[in-house]
Amino acid sequence: MDAEQLSRWQFAFTASFHFIFPPLSMGLGIMLIAIGVAYLRTNDTKWRQLAFFWTQVYGLIFALGVATGVVQEFEFGMNWAGYSRFVGNVFGSLLAAEGIFAFFLEGGFLGLMLFGGNRLGPKLWLGATTVVVFAAHFSALWIVMANSWMQTPDGYKLVTSNGTTTAELTDFLDVMLTPSFIPHILHVYVASWMAGAALVLSVSAWYLLHGRHVELARAGLRLAIPLFAVLAVTQVAIFGANQAISVTNNQPVKLAAIEGLWNDDSCAPLFLAGWVDESNQTTKGLSIPCLLSFLSYGSFDSTVQGLNSFNSDTWAPVNLSFQAYHLMIDIAMLLAFFGLVAAALYYWKDKLVRFRLGLWALVVSVVITEAAIIAGWWTTEVGRQPWVVWNLLRTEDAVSTTLTSAEVGFSLGMFVVLYAILLALFLFLLNGKIQRGPAELHDVETVPEASLPDSFREIFRRRGGRADTMPAGKPVGSEETKP
Amino acid sequence: LTLAEVWFVLFVLIIAGYLILDGFDFGVGIVQLVVARNDDERRMVLNSIGPVWDGNEVWIVLGGGVLFAAFPPVYASLFSGFYLAFILVLLVMILRTVAIEFRSKQDGRRWRSVWDTIFSVASLAIAFLFGVAFGNIISGVDLNQSGDINESLLDLLNPFALLVGLTAVSMFAVHGLLFLAVKTVGTLEERVRRYTPVALAVFFLLINVTVVITALTQDQISHRFVDDYWPFTFPGAALVAFFLCLRLIRIGLDFFAFLASAAMIGLLLASGAAGMYPNLLISSTDESFNLTVHNGAAANNTLEIMLAFAVIGIPLILLYTSGVYYFFRGKVELDADSY
């Protein structure tokens, strides 16, 4: 393979791995806010116990997200210098805005969130958590904005000087609100919240199956079940559908590729699963007749354009994008089914907690939600090929010309080994955390809750911080090692 | 003053923010194995930066984003030209991040000592690699007309760059020790204070050698100083900050000594930047290939909108970042939820 091919694989690999973590951060963050609100309203200590537990899990997920996130920013310049020169004016400013407005907020308040349990009263702790979660969403907003610009570029002009063409900014509002942006960001947010709710469902179901922490597990279900059911159903019916319509309108050749539609069809079928034979230009599989026409244009006899209506040098890898897309929608439908059944059993005389098979389905729900999210990104990114910026810049012209295949081969190999180790350690530590379960409050609370500052006035009035409330001269590090 | 010049200054300030803030995180990591001898002491060292290291690291992410947006050709040439060096930077950055997070998650002795070692070595390696990169940037690289840098990893590890790398390590070690003096107590603090003069002496020696060699061998830089004279303000002020720092340590004003060290780091970076100006990347083959503030900047529309972002965003960042530092001020205390 040459340096370009290797760079494609490296970017696909590192971005896919990175994108395991941000949706979990956003979604689990929403769950933590719900837990914090529940505690403030009920004063029931089980919510406080859950807040300590899930905040620690959040820290672990966040660390992996940060560690693998910097790689993405560096790779634009390292592997895709042609791309960086071409889009820097536009795309770079969105990344810089993400840094200025979102990352500092997130990074700055993270310490208060992770270590807030013993330093802030419940209201301020929830406040710090809310700021971090808001910042995580804000950061995703800028990134999805930048990605949407690559799908449907707008608000720019092309300028050529000394033989180099660059995209220059003309209207920043148009850059921010390109036609694909709104459906895209809503789709991403809902998927992320599903992942967070699924993580809580998964762990709670595991505890119920093993008869441990039963009361806490029930509390987890109480928050996560209705949220997950509503999100999973609306993701299929509204947000995912809107995203598909956006692709239909803005990138018809991409729609043809991800649906494996070769010729124009006035009753285009929607595949549930299948296989594309690219050399014979056929697609076989299980399909519902005319449904694609209906979903795309609202009537069963609308014509959907096939790949042959477009120049073949603008086709994405058809089977790969087809498979990624159908993996995503099949999982999405399965999750909507899970959500509905779980909610029905839960609210119908509490049957869910005794339905072991159903609980096992919830245990795996987080893994398949993540799989659908990654498949969704493969759909949108592979489906955009051969372009890196839609209709403006081809991926093959975006690569750094100075790289050798040995260099990129080395770095790709390094990332594969490093990320495999990180994933193994992440799962090992996450599993350890889950198996130990939420600690008793008296084990995690080193300071009585009532003595913690719970308003800004209290923070800034107290001199020397927490030291006032601690016995003087307490030897440092006298506390037992971390549980 | 053009927009591109404003962004040159802002970029230098952002990198200074990174070196000052994440710099003490590196420094703490570099000295950790030496000053902290048991698990409690190591946890103290780790938790001294615990609530803030992540926010500090954001400065480099911002620096990368700003370089990408404000100087796209420089970002593209630098990152693709230093490919393997940046891969190593990424490797040690990732290892360092997960070492902080993973270390205290398990009780085992071996588990913790392995992650302590990774944290320390990775901190040292980042400081060293940034020094090496800086050395290559001020000494110029094989940059051709189309903006391609043709340097292998071994070319980048030339003697001058290695010297700058060692100087950077010693500088951050000093900075980290001064931070630890503020944050720690007991025998750990005593050990920190014992090692501080050693680190200061090593740093003072190395920085002077670096400055002399730069003046003698790096013509493009030294000409800037001799032609205009005003750039001498920066190294001069850095020298004053260094002696001020010594004085403040002697009279026991630890926090202000730390601030003096922060100022010195910013001024040393500014000295390099003043020597570079208006160049951002110096070509060792032909001066006309240099990427400068003028031929390497983005168009004015982009620079304007970014300036608006900076004017709104950066004061807010400084405000809540200082709020967080104020909240976590004072000596480190270990909790059940600490690292």
Is residue A471 very low, low, confident or very high in pLDDT (cuts 50, 70, 90)? very low
Q: What is the mean pLDDT of residues A217-231?
A: 94
Of A101, A111, A168, the CB nearest to B328: A111
**Residue A204 predicted with pLDDT over 60:** yes
Structure confidence at residue A141 (pLDDT): 96
**Residue A29 predicted with pLDDT over 60:** yes
Is residue A478 very low, low, confident or very high in pLDDT (cuts 50, 70, 90)? very low
- Under an 8 A CB cutoff, do A60 and B330 touch? no
Of A103, A401, A467, the CB nearest to B148: A401
A residues 395..434 contacting B (CB < 8 A): 400-403, 407, 410-411, 414, 418, 422, 425, 429, 432-433
A residues 158..217 contacting B (CB < 8 A): 159, 166, 168-170, 172
Q: Which positions in chain B touch A56 (Cβ < 8 Å)?
A: 337
Its ipTM equals 0.92
Q: Residue A365 has what DSSP assignment?
A: H
| A149, two tokens | 């610009």
| Interface contact A89, partner B, CB < 8 A | yes
Structure confidence at residue B336 (pLDDT): 75
Smallest CA–CA distance, residue B333 to chain A, in Å, is 7
**Residue A464 predicted with pLDDT over 50:** no
Smallest CA–CA distance, residue B292 to chain A, in Å, is 15
**Residue A482 predicted with pLDDT over 60:** no
Contacts of A251 (CB under 8 A, 6+ apart): A151, A152, A180, A383, A384, A390
Whole-number average pLDDT of chain A:
90
**What is the dihedral sign for C-alpha B17, B22, B25, B26?**
negative
Of B54, B329, B335, the CB nearest to A446: B335
Structure confidence at residue A469 (pLDDT): 43
**Residue A477 predicted with pLDDT over 90:** no
**Residue A67 predicted with pLDDT over 60:** yes
| Interface contact A481, partner B, CB < 8 A | yes
For each of chain B's 339 residues, which pLDDT tens digit applies?
899 999 999 999 999 999 999 999 999 999 999 999 999 999 999 999 988 998 899 999 999 999 999 999 999 999 999 999 999 999 999 999 999 989 888 888 899 999 999 999 999 999 999 999 999 999 999 998 888 998 888 889 999 999 999 999 999 999 999 999 999 999 999 999 999 999 999 999 999 999 999 999 988 888 888 888 889 999 999 999 999 999 999 999 999 999 999 999 999 999 999 999 889 999 988 888 989 999 999 999 999 999 999 999 999 999 999 988 988 888 888 877 788
Neighbours of A341 (CB within 10 A): 15
For residue A341, CA distances in Å to A61, A231, A361, A413, B60 come to 29, 14, 11, 43, 47
| Interface contact A347, partner B, CB < 8 A | no
- pLDDT > 70: percent of chain B: 100
- The C-alpha angle A115, A116, A117, rounded to 5 degrees, equals 95
- Distance CA(B211)–CA(B242), nearest Å, equals 15
| Residue of B3, B54, B150, B294 to mutate, interface with A, max A Cβ within 10 Å | B54
Q: Which positions in chain B touch A400 (Cβ < 8 Å)?
A: 76, 80, 83
Angle (deg, nearest 10), helices A122-151 and A181-209: 130
| Interface contact A111, partner B, CB < 8 A | yes
Q: Which positions in chain A touch B151 (Cβ < 8 Å)?
A: none
Q: Which positions in chain A touch B189 (Cβ < 8 Å)?
A: none
Structure confidence at residue A462 (pLDDT): 57
Q: Which residue has the higher pLDDT, A462 or B173?
A: B173
Q: Which positions in chain A touch B321 (Cβ < 8 Å)?
A: 104, 108
Q: Residue A152 has what DSSP assignment?
A: S
| Interface contact A128, partner B, CB < 8 A | no
| B217, two tokens | 């061998």
Is residue A474 very low, low, confident or very high in pLDDT (cuts 50, 70, 90)? very low
- Distance CA(A404)–CA(A102), nearest Å, equals 35
Q: Tell me which H or E stretch contains A276.
A: strand A270-277
**What is the dihedral sign for C-alpha B163, B166, B171, B172?**
positive
CB A449 within 8 A of CB A57: no
- pLDDT tens-digit series, residues A127-167: 999 999 999 999 999 999 999 999 999 999 999 987 889 99
By mean pLDDT, which of A143-157, A293-307, A333-347 is the weakest? Answer: A293-307
Question: pTM value?
Answer: 0.93
Q: Tell me which H or E stretch contains A271.
A: strand A270-277
- Distance CA(A421)–CA(A423), nearest Å, equals 5
3-class secondary structure, A273: strand
| B69, two tokens | 């947006």
Q: DSSP labels for B40-107?
A: HHHHHHHHHHTTTHHHHHHHHHHHHHHHHHH-HHHHHHHHHHTHHHHHHHHHHHHHHHHHHHHGGGS-
| CA neighbours closer than 13 Å in the CB half-sphere of residue B230 | 4
Smallest CA–CA distance, residue A402 to chain B, in Å, is 6
Is residue A481 very low, low, confident or very high in pLDDT (cuts 50, 70, 90)? very low
Q: Name the β-bridge partners of A279.
A: none
Q: Residue A299 has what DSSP assignment?
A: S
Closest residue of A to B71, CA-based?
A: A88
Q: Which positions in chain A touch B313 (Cβ < 8 Å)?
A: 100-101, 104
- Under an 8 A CB cutoff, do A402 and B81 touch? yes
- pLDDT tens-digit series, residues A386-421: 999 999 999 999 999 999 999 999 999 999 999 999
Size of interface A-B (CB pairs under 8 A): 275
Closest residue of B to A442, CA-based?
A: B336
- Under an 8 A CB cutoff, do B65 and A98 touch? yes
